Amino acid sequence: DGGITQSPKYLFRKEGQNVTLSCEQNLNHDAMYWYRQDPGQGLRLIYYSQIVNDFQKGDIAEGYSVSREKKESFPLTVTSAQKNPTAFYLCASRTSGRIVSGELFFGEGSRLTVL
Amino acid sequence: EDKVVQSPLSLVVHEGDTVTLNCSYEVTNFRSLLWYKQEKKAPTFLFMLTSSGIEKKSGRLSSILDKKELFSILNITATQTGDSAIYLCAANSNSGYALNFGKGTSLLVTP
């Protein structure tokens, strides 16, 4: 079945450690996105990528980094520079970043807790 | 700056009640408005609205867009406990490449 797979689902890390969250899609979508969700805050955009080897910062990119070496994969690294990394992270994709009317498809999310 | 505002932020109703969730938006070069339901993890798509005044319906859920007033509502009739979720509204623009989400409305339906 086509879809978006995020891993791990739950992750605990000590303060100061970098962590990488995986996002893989087999929907043949060009555009991929990372959102962060905090209670009462809705979804806030971290980074997005419209095509392989290209990505742009979203509204809250500080302390995060991404790569897009393959169409299927868009990993997110939460660095030690991110001051409040504990959150629920959602990866999403859609057909193309340029076809702006298309819906987003979401993964199941990764919950990161920094101790 | 583009923004999407949802109200109320939280709501508690009894089973069988009808609820209306609100979403207002200010988006440059607006293209479409989307509603999602999020129960525990991944938001699931409900509706996409592009034209004013045309109601979209799916079972007990319906939604409509007013492009003049920059507003959309999501109605749920005869609510059930399974409708308990966060409902997210998002706006799409012709010039942007990502959806702009509101903070969501947390709905709790009690038996």
Q: How far is it, in rounded angstroms, from Cα A38 to Cα A50?
A: 25
Say which residue the tokens 């879809």 belong to: A3
pLDDT number for residue A100: 53
Residue B97: per-residue pLDDT: 73
By C-alpha distance, which of A43, A41, A42 is closest to A33?
A43
> Is B98 in Cβ contact with A58 (below 8 Å)?
yes
Q: pLDDT band at residue B47, thresholds of 50, 70 and 90?
A: very high
Q: What is the pLDDT of residue B87?
A: 97
Residue of B nearest to A92 (CA): B42
Tell me the two tokens of residue B47.
Answer: 């509706």
Q: Which of A27-36, A92-101, B35-44, B95-104 has the least mean pLDDT?
A: A92-101
Tell me the pLDDT of chain B averaged across its residues.
Answer: 93
- Interatomic CA distance for residues A92 and A103, integer angstroms: 10
Between residues B98 and A63, the one the model is more confident about: A63
Q: How far is B49 from chain A (nearest CA, A)?
A: 9
Cα–Cα distance, A91 to B42 (Å, whole number): 9
pLDDT at position A16: 87
Q: Please check whether residue A107 touches B, CB under 8 A.
A: yes
Distance of residue B104 Cα from the nearest chain A Cα, in angstroms: 5
pLDDT 10s digit of each residue in chain A, 115 long? 679 999 999 999 888 899 999 999 999 999 999 999 998 888 999 999 989 999 999 999 999 999 999 999 999 999 988 889 999 999 999 887 555 557 889 999 999 999 8
| Interface touch A104/B93, C-beta < 8 Å | no
Q: Is B45 touching A (CB cutoff 8 A)?
A: yes
User: Which pLDDT does position A22 carry in this prediction?
Assistant: 98
pLDDT for A61 equals 96
